[in-house]
Amino acid sequence: MIVGSDIPGISAADIADAFRALGSKDAVFGPATDGGYWLVGLRRRPRFVDPFPNVRWSSEHALADTLANLADKEVAMLRPLSDIDDGASWRRHTLQETSP
């Protein structure tokens, strides 16, 4: 399991949900609101599958491209979260935290 380091809204419950999902699925993703993902987890057995060829990284297509590589696998999705990619997304996150 890999988690992005730019996900301020992540919780311990999100990680627990991801591990729980991998108990019955081949892969788990935490979708980001910008079309990417904040978490990816893959089962290694019965064999490893590479989900990353031809992914248009840093674009709104990253999750869709990755899922296309896993078309024949069972995939679980976690709750969507925002990631911090630039100053504008940091300001949006900061405003959301301080708003009543």
CATH of the domain at 90: 3.90.550.10
Query: Alpha-carbon distance 27 to 12, whole Å?
Result: 19
pLDDT in tens, 68-93: 999 999 999 999 999 887 787 777 77
54: region left, alpha or beta (phi > 0 left; psi from -120 to 50 alpha):
left
Burial of 14 by CB count in 10 Å (0-12 exposed, 13-18 middle, 19+ buried)? middle
Q: How many domains does the chain have?
A: 1
Q: Which range of residues forms the domain containing residue 15? A: 2-98
pLDDT tens figures, 32-67:
999 999 999 999 877 778 999 999 999 999 999 999
